[in-house]
Amino acid sequence: MSYENELAVALAAVCQASAVCRSVQSKIDAAALEKKDRSPVTVADFASQAVVCRELQAAFPVDPVIGEEDAAQLKESGNSQFMDRVQSELAAVGIKSSRDEICGWIDRGSAKDYSPRFWTIDPIDGTKGFLRSEQYAVALALIVNGQIDVALLGCPNLPVEDWSDAVGVICYAIRGEGSYVLPMDDDSAEPQRVTVSSNADPATARFCESVESGHTSHNHSAMISKRLGIAADAVRLDSQAKYAVVGRGQAEIYMRLPTRPGYQEKIWDHAGGVLFVEEAGGRVTDIHGKPLEFNHGFELKANRGVIATNGPLHDALLKMLPEVGVE
């Protein structure tokens, strides 16, 4: 079936949410970071989810949305300052609304159970990257019968081109129709189709991983890299921007290796990026080579870890994992 309408609505939602996030991030100062003040990401998280769920509610009122946030924290009497800031940021992008409306939009994203058709959103994927003014993403995906059919990543700080100073891209994919990139700040630009790298030589392969060691096992990544003969150091960046980098052919490998027993990945941390890599010609599995399953509610209960590659290097990488103790 055609997803032209779903894509149009999702693009508008992600673009507007990215604008809100940029506005909040531009106001972060060094003093706040020194105090480990997380209020900017809290405001941006809520405002971003409100924007996206508002658009989805208007266009697809019966579609559930599985998201990372709900409005419970905002409704607490001691958090009125957050609500004021969220309301202000929404007004700045033309959304003038009451507190009840804002909470209602946010709570549209509080579903947790599987449905035959639903959306999943991470309003700010990569919160520490956001606070450092580095990489983060607004991630959105439509899942139908357990399959990702539409996926988007808004990456406000990702360069438009390798050689360009311009930043801010929307990466998107529709199943069976390829992967595309649009610059955020050029309304006249045409979508550019992208494909993964064709590099099959481990010695010249590039890989990326999470900045935070709590998100992936850096030690195992280093051992795998050494055994495969990868010469370049890992590029560390936050968020699903790593999927964007692999899908655009700027890296061949993204490894999210388990750091503790029993941890289950959340679907909103991956759905937006998985289809982008796959439709660009790449491959995404868990550490055992199984496709990721998005029909178990808000968690990837049938999977462990995530490996995304350009394809030619995938099997060699999977074979290496148990040899270095990843299981």
pLDDT digits 0-9 by tens, 230-242: 888 878 899 999 9
What's the confidence (pLDDT) of residue 260? 79
Inter-axis angle of helices 39-59 and 99-107, to 10 degrees?
80
What's the confidence (pLDDT) of residue 53? 97
Check residue 311 and report its DSSP letter: S
Give 201's contacts (C-beta < 8 A, 6+ positions apart).
none
Question: Could you give phi then psi for residue 52, rounded to 5 degrees?
Answer: -65, -45
Whether the per-residue pLDDT at 215 is higher than 60: the answer is no
Whether the per-residue pLDDT at 295 is higher than 80: the answer is yes
Q: Which residues are catalytic?
A: 45, 127
Question: Reading across the β-sheet that carries 65-67, which strands appear in turn?
Answer: 65-67, 117-125, 137-144, 147-159, 167-174, 179-183, 192-194
pLDDT digits (tens, 9 = 90+) for 56-80: 999 999 999 999 889 998 888 888 8
Task: Write b or e for each residue in 84-99: b if 16 or more Cβ atoms lie within 10 A of its Cβ, otherwise e.
Answer: ebbbebbeeeebebee
Place of tokens 């006249």: 188
Between 259 and 95, the more confident residue is 95
pTM (2 decimals)? 0.94
Place of tokens 């955020």: 184
In degrees, rounded to 5, the angle at the alpha carbon of residue 277 between the alpha carbons of residues 189 and 118 is 90
- In this structure, which amino acid lies at residue 116? P
- Per-residue tokens: 24: 């909040």
Whether the per-residue pLDDT at 34 is higher than 80: the answer is no
Q: Which domains are present in the chain?
A: 4-194 (3.30.540.10), 202-323 (3.40.190.80)
Whether the per-residue pLDDT at 175 is higher than 90: the answer is yes
What's the confidence (pLDDT) of residue 297? 96
